[in-house]
Structure 1
C-alpha cells in the first residue's frame, strides 16, 4: 500500500487570560458562501473568531484564522470538525480556472462594525452567501481594530451591490463604503482581485470584446499563465529597483496584449524605403501598430528580415507584403539582434513556413528554451523570468527549431568582440557580441565601411523622427530602455556604441 503523503494539519494552541486560542489556516474553494460556511462551523461550536484574514489576490483559497474559547474541548472539537471536512488540507491545483469577476461595477469595498461575540461573523457573512456575493478580501482583527471588519465583495453588477447594501442597512449594520466599482474607478484601490483579473480589467477599455474573450479564455485555462503572472507580481516587490520597473514591465505586457486589437481588419503597416546599403542591397523599414521596427533587406531575388515584430502580426505582414510586390516565398534568412518577443516573434514562423535560416547569437536558443530573457543574470532576473513567459505567450512568439551559426569572423570593434559575420550579396555585416546589459543573447550588426549599425533597442536618433513618432516615443522610449538585464552595463554599452559610431 502506498504511503499517505498528505501533510498533517498545522495549527498552534496557546492559553492566556482564561482563554484557549488556536491559530490555523484553512483552504476553501473560491466561490460564494464558503467563508460563511466556515464562520457558521466556528459559531456552531460556541467558539469566537478573534482574527480572520483572507486576500483572494494573494491566494484564492487560503484563510488565516485565530479563534478563542474558555473551554479547550470546544476548540478541539472545532479543529476535529475542520479536519474531517478537509478544510485543513491544501486544495489541489486547478488547471481550468474560469474568471469569477468580470464586471467591476459589481465590486464593493467597505468597513463594517462587528460585535465581538460568537456567531457575529457567521451572521454577517450569511448575508453575502444568501445574495450570491463572493467575499474576495476580509480582514478582521480584534486586537488591532476592535469590532471593525474590512471587506471586499464581488457581485454580478451594480444592482446587486445596491441590493446588498440595502440588506445590510435593514439588518442594522453600520458600515462605511471605501470603494465602489464604476466607469472611472481606480483598480489599484481594490483588494481581492487576482493577478489575472487586475491585468485584464486594465485592458478592457482598449481591446474589442472578441479579443478580450480570447485573453480571458487563455488565462482561465492555462495554469502556466496564471502562475507566471503571480510570480511576476510577487517579484515586483523583491527590491526597490524591481518595484520601480514593475510598472514598466506591466505596460509592456499590456502593449503585447493590445497588439491583439490591431490584427486582421484593424492591421496597418507603414513601409519606409528603399535605402541603399550597398549597390546590390536595399533596405525597407516596416512599422506595425505595436512593437519594434522590422527591416527587410532586398538583394537580387532574395529577401532577408533583420529583426521581426510580435508573432501575432506574422500573417498580416506576410499578406501585406504579397499585396505590395514582396513575395514572402523569397525570404531566405532572418537575422535577430536579440530574442525578445518584439524582435524575434516571427523567427520560428519564417523558418517553418518558408524554410528561412535563422541567424542569432547562439545563446538565444537557451533564452527561447528557458523563456528567460536574462538567463538568471543581473539584479532583475527574478522579475524578468515570468515577464518573458507572459510577453511571449501574449504576443504569440514562435521560437525557431534551430539557429544557424554566423560565418566565421574574429576581432573586436569599439570594445565589442566580433563573434561572426553575415554576407548578403555585396553587403557584409559583422556580429558584435553585447555585454548583456539589455538581454541575454544579443548582438549588434555593423557594416563598418559605410557605418550602418543595427543596435536592437540601444541607439535612437530622436532628431530623425517625425512629430508623430516623437509623440509616440514619449511612451515607448521608457518601455524600451527600462527592461534591461543590468542598467549599469546597459549605460556603459550605450557609451561604447555612441563612440563607435562617431
Structure 2
C-alpha cells in the first residue's frame, strides 16, 4: 500500500551562516518533501525558520531525524537567561581569545562586547550574553569568577532582556505566562500558527513586530484586568412589569445583560471565561443572578467574549446552530465567505487560549426559520420572560455566522449584539482593546457589506419602536454587544440614564457624560 502524502509543520533553528537554509531544503528534497510554506525573517529572529511540507509520514519522520541529527530541528523551548557583566582582562596577547573560549564552551551566545584600552576604563570588558538553562549560567559564572575579577550588571531569567537573536524563544516564554502551564510541543505548534498570521499580515504590508505586540497585548490586557484589577460599568434600568435590565460592560470584550424579576433571572451573553470569578463576585455585590434564579442563558454568537464563560453556569443555554458549529470547529469564520482565512482560525485559537474559553455544554438550539420575518430578519423563536414576549431574530451573517438578536416590542428592548454598538460610549481602554482584534483579523465582521445592511435595518426597527412608544414617553433601548445601553437621538446613539463604575466589590455612581 502506497503511503499517502500529508501536510506537516515544524520549526528549524539553524546557524546564521551561508548555506544553512539550503542544507535543510536539500534534506527535505531528498525524501520527496514538497515545501508548501516557509517563513524566515532575519530582522525578527536570525536563526528560526518555519516550514510546512507535504510528504508521506515515513518520509516526514526521516526528514525530522536528519534535521535533528545536524541540530536543526527545534523540539523544545529552553529557558534562556540573560547576563551582562564587566570583567577585568589581563593585558597580554590572547587574553580575549581565552575568555571567549570559556563562554563558547559554556554554550553562550554573545550579544554585545565593549572594550577600548584608550577609553575611560582601559582594563574593563563589558559583555552581554544569553545561555540556555540556569545551571549553565551558574557554571560559567563560577568558572569566570575563579579566573577574573567580575562585576554582575544584570541577570535576568524572565526573557524580558534577551536580544532578538532568540526572539521566538522569548515570545514563547511570554505566551506561557499568559496561557498557563503548557508543554513545549503545544507551544511550538502555537508558534507555528502565530507565525503564519505574521507572514500573512506582513504580506499585506503590516509591521511583523506590531503583530507580535498586538497578540501579547491582547493576552496581557485580559490577565491584567481580571482579579484585583477587574472593573465594570453598570446600568440598571426599570423596564416595567417588575423587570429590571442590568448591563455590565466588562473591561475587555462584550457586555453581559441580566434581566431580573423577584423570582427569576435571564442572562444574555456571558463574557470571557477568564472573567467568570470576577463576574460572580460582581453579581453578588449587586444581588443579581445568584444562580438560584437564573433560568436561561441566551448566547448571541460564538465569539469568546460573548459565550466563553457559558460552561460555568448551571442554567441551560440557548444558541443558534451556527454558533454550535463555530464552537466545534474553533474557527470564528465557519459558515462565512472567509471560512478559509488563516487569520480568523488562528485568532480564534489565540483568543480562546488567552480568555480561558469555556463554552456552554448544556444547550438547546433555536429552531430553523419557518418563513416569519421581522423586517429583513427571520424570526426563529419566541419565548416569554416576566410575562413579556421576546423574539429571537436571525442575523444575515455580517458580524458572524449564527448570530441572533433579541427583540421585545412591548418593553421596547432591542439587543443588537455586535451589529449595532454605541462606539462613542466606549472608554479609550475598551476602544484600544477592540482595535487589537480588528488589526489581527483585518475586520471583526466576516462580511462587512452585510453587517452595514443589518445595522441600518436594526436602527429602523428601533426608530419604529420609538414612534410606537411616543404616546407613553418611553424609548426603544438599543442594547449593543459592547458599550452603553443607548437610545436614538436625531439618528445617533446616545447613552441612556446613569452609569455606575464598579471596581472589586464597590461601586461609584454618577451620571453619564
CA distance in 2, matches of 1:372, 1:338: 13
Distance 1:440 1:376, change over 3 A: closer
Structure 1 residue aligned with 2:364: 404
1:498 aligns with 2:449: no
Distance 1:388 1:381 in 2: 11
Task: Kindly indicate whether residue 339 of structure 2 is the aligned counterpart of residue 366 of structure 1.
Answer: no
Look up the match of 1:417: 378
Q: In 2 relative to 1, CA 222–369 (structure 1 residues): closer, same or farther, beyond 3 Å?
A: farther
| Alignment pair present for 1:265 and 2:247 | no
Q: What's the counterpart of residue 198 of structure 1?
A: 171
The equivalent of 2:151 in structure 1 is: none
* Equivalences, count: 362
Question: Are 1:429 and 2:390 matched, yes or no?
Answer: yes
Using the size of structure 2 for normalisation, the TM-score is: 0.58
Q: In the TM superposition, what whole-angstrom CA distance separates every residue of 1:365-385 from its partner, at most 9, and x where no partner exists?
A: 221111111117434721111
Structure 2 match to 1:388: 348
C-alpha distance 100-244 of structure 1, shift in aligned 2 (>3 A): same
Summarize deviations over 1:214-244 as a string: whole Å, max 9, x none.
437534x163454234213313433679665
Aligned pair in 2 of structure 1 residues 343, 125: CA closer, same or farther (>3 Å)? farther
Structure 1 unmatched ranges of 5 or more: 6-20, 29-53, 63-82, 107-122, 137-151, 168-179, 202-211
**Runs of 4+ in structure 1 displaced over 4 angstroms?**
83-86, 88-91, 123-128, 185-189, 239-250, 407-410
Residues 1:130 and 2:89 aligned together = no
Equivalent positions of 1:78-477 (< 5 A) are 87=69, 91=73, 94=75, 97-101=76-80, 129-134=104-109, 154-155=130-131, 190=164, 192-194=166-168, 197-198=170-171, 201=174, 214-215=177-178, 217-219=180-182, 221=183, 223-238=185-200, 251=214, 254-273=217-236, 275-326=237-288, 327-350=290-313, 354=314, 356-375=315-334, 377-379=336-338, 381-406=341-366, 410=370, 411-462=372-423, 465=425, 469-477=426-434
User: Residue 363 of structure 1: SS of its match in structure 2?
Assistant: helix
1:487 CA drift (Å): 3.1
- For each residue in 1:117-145, what CA deviation from the matched residue of structure 2 results, as whole angstroms up to 9, or x when unmatched? xxxxxx99977633532489xxxxxxxxx
Q: Which moved more, 1:235-244 or 1:471-480?
A: 235-244
Whether contact under 8 Å (1:418, 1:432) holds in the other structure is yes
Deviation at 1:339, TM superposition (A): 1.1
Return the alpha-carbon distance in structure 1 between the equivalents of residues 216 and 402 of structure 2.
Answer: 21
Structure 1: how far apart are the matches of 2:402 and 2:345? 15
What is the Cα deviation at residue 462 of structure 1?
4.3
Give CA deviations for 1:311-368 in whole Å, capped at 9, x if unaligned.
Answer: 0111222133224423223222111211111111111111xxx2x1111111212211
Change (3 A) 1:89 1:263: closer
Distance 1:127 1:385, change over 3 A: farther
Q: Name the Cα RMSD after superposition.
A: 4.6
Supply the distance in 2 between the matched residues of 1:187 and 1:384 (Cα, whole angstroms).
32
- Decide whether aligned partners of structure 1 residues 124 and 85 sit closer, same or farther in structure 2, where only a CA change above 3 A counts: farther
Asked if the contact 1:269/1:317 (under 8 Å) is kept, the reply is no
Query: Does the CA contact (< 8 Å) of 1:283 and 1:295 recur in 2?
Result: yes
In the superposition, the TM-score normalised over structure 1's length comes to: 0.59
Q: Which runs of 5+ in 2 are unaligned?
A: 6-19, 28-44, 54-64, 85-97, 112-127, 145-153, 464-513
